[in-house]
Amino acid sequence: MEEKKKSEKSEDKPKVLVKTPYDFQRLKLEKLMKNPEKPVVIPDGSREKKAPHVPEFVRNVMGSSAGAGSGEFHVYRHLRRKEYARQKHIQEKSEKELLDEEFQRKIEEARQVFEDKTAKKRAKRLKKKQKMKNKPKKPKTGDEKKDNEADSGDDESKSEEENSDEDERNDNKQE
């Protein structure tokens, strides 16, 4: 029975040969999309390389001088290599700090420029708003006609058709 189950499973899944990178990527995406509820593990970016702790002061410094034993040269070479690695590490660290400071300075400048622009625009907006508040409100042109007609009594001189047309227009405006 187990053999039948295995053969059925293999029949359900046709084997696909990966011939191009496109096919490979497509297969990966299909596998991911089979179960969208499953969490996807995204690896972190490259981490900082941790240099081994190198002492600040190298003690027992030897030189390659005449008369030293044959084994002492290898010790000297090892200490010299450690010192060069320490100096290189210190130099790389200082360069990185300089780049970080420069980057932070640029970010701060960009933020300051952005804040200045927004403050200027905000002041302009508030000034315009204040100007609109202080400005006396003028009645609309349609309202002026109504007021003038009511005050002057010109309604009697107009024909009834003209008055009804004006009333219809005023009703349409109000709606």
Summarised one tens digit per residue, pLDDT across range 76-117 is: 888 889 889 889 989 999 999 999 999 999 999 999 999 999
Is-contact 18 24, C-beta < 8 A?
yes
For 8, counting Cβ atoms within 10 Å of its Cβ (0-12 exposed, 13-18 middle, 19+ buried), the class is exposed
CB atoms near residue 85 (< 10 Å): 13
Block residue for tokens 């070479």: 77
Query: Distance between CA atoms of 62 and 56, rounded to whole angstroms?
Result: 17
Average per-residue pLDDT in the chain? 76
Look at residue 64 and tell me whether its pLDDT is greater than 70.
no
Position 63 in a domain: no
Question: Phi-psi category of 54—alpha, beta or left, where left has phi over 0 and alpha has psi -120 to 50?
Answer: beta
Query: Distance between CA atoms of 104 and 97, rounded to whole angstroms?
Result: 10
Cα pseudo-dihedral 82, 88, 94, 97, rounded to 10: -100
Position 28 in a domain: no
Position 161 in a domain: no
Position 89 in a domain: yes
What share of the chain in percent tops pLDDT 70?
Answer: 59
Query: Distance between CA atoms of 175 and 170, rounded to whole angstroms?
Result: 9
Position 76 in a domain: yes
For residue 103, the enclosing domain spans 71-132
The domain tally of the chain equals 1
Contacts of 89 (CB under 8 A, 6+ apart): 51, 54
